[in-house]
Amino acid sequence: MVAQNAVRIPRDTLNVRLHNVLHAFAVVEREDVFKKTPCPAFLMFENAAYLADMSFELPCNCKPEEVPSVVWYFQKSMGSRQTRVLTDFGGKLIVDSSFIKVGSDMLRRFSIRMFSLIVFRVQVEDSGHYICGTKQGDFFYGYDVDVQASKGLEVAFEDRNQHPQKDQVETQFMVFTVFWDWTTCDRCDVRGEQRRIGLCHVRSAYLLRRYHTSTAEVASCGSHSIPKQFQGIIQHRQPEIVIRSCTKPCGKKKSSTEGETSISDVISKLGEKPWVPNVPIQFHKQSLSSGLVISCPGARPEHAVAWDKDTTRLYLTRYLTGINRSMRVFIDHGNHLHIRFAQLSDRGTYYCWREGQMVAGFRLSVVYESRRRRSLDDPETLYAVKVILTSYVLITLVFLVLQVVRCCLYAFRCTAVD
d(CA 116, CA 22): 12
d(CA 383, CA 376): 10
d(CA 229, CA 171): 12
d(CA 398, CA 235): 32
Do 229 and 127 lie in one domain? The reply is no
pLDDT of 176 reads 94
Do 108 and 221 lie in one domain? The reply is no
- Specify whether the CB–CB gap between 307 and 351 falls below 8 A: yes
Q: Has residue 270 got a pLDDT over 60?
A: no
User: Residue 10 has what DSSP assignment?
Assistant: -
Do 40 and 76 lie in one domain? The reply is yes
Highest mean pLDDT among 155-159, 210-214, 262-266: 155-159
In this prediction, residues 113-118 reach a mean pLDDT of 83
Do 142 and 168 lie in one domain? The reply is no
Residue 309 lies in a domain: yes
Do 62 and 189 lie in one domain? The reply is no
Do 13 and 131 lie in one domain? The reply is yes
Instruction: For residue range 32-70, list pLDDT tens digits in order.
Output: 444 556 677 778 899 999 998 888 889 988 888 788 888
Residue 405 lies in a domain: no
Q: Has residue 96 got a pLDDT over 50?
A: no
Do 9 and 82 lie in one domain? The reply is yes
Average pLDDT, rounded, for the chain: 79
CA distances from 244 to 70, 241, 304, 317 (A): 44, 10, 12, 9
Do 116 and 131 lie in one domain? The reply is yes
Q: Which domain holds residue 226?
A: 154-246
The CATH number of the domain where 128 resides is what? 2.60.40.10
In this prediction, residues 154-165 reach a mean pLDDT of 91
Do 211 and 237 lie in one domain? The reply is yes
d(CA 175, CA 373): 50
Do 341 and 299 lie in one domain? The reply is yes
How sure is the predictor about 231, in pLDDT bands with cuts at 50, 70 and 90?
A: confident
pLDDT of 163 reads 87
Do 87 and 182 lie in one domain? The reply is no
Residue 124 lies in a domain: yes
How sure is the predictor about 145, in pLDDT bands with cuts at 50, 70 and 90?
A: very high
Residue after which a domain boundary falls, among 90, 124, 148: 148
Instruction: For residue range 123-141, list pLDDT tens digits in order.
Output: 898 899 999 988 887 888 8
Q: Has residue 183 got a pLDDT over 70?
A: yes
How sure is the predictor about 112, in pLDDT bands with cuts at 50, 70 and 90?
A: confident
d(CA 388, CA 301): 33
187-201, 272-286, 288-302, 354-368: range with lowest mean pLDDT: 272-286
Residue after which a domain boundary falls, among 117, 148, 179: 148
User: For residues 85 and 107, which has the higher predicted lDDT (pLDDT)?
Assistant: 85
Residue 382 lies in a domain: no
- Specify whether the CB–CB gap between 94 and 21 falls below 8 A: yes
Give the DSSP H/E element, type plus range, for residue 273: none
Share of the chain above pLDDT 90, in %: 36
User: For residues 212 and 364, which has the higher predicted lDDT (pLDDT)?
Assistant: 364
Share of the chain above pLDDT 70, in %: 75
Give the DSSP H/E element, type plus range, for residue 383: helix 379-417
Residue 383 lies in a domain: no
Residue 379 lies in a domain: no
How sure is the predictor about 376, in pLDDT bands with cuts at 50, 70 and 90?
A: low
Residue 417 lies in a domain: no
Do 316 and 221 lie in one domain? The reply is no
Residue 391 lies in a domain: no
* Count of structural domains within the chain: 3
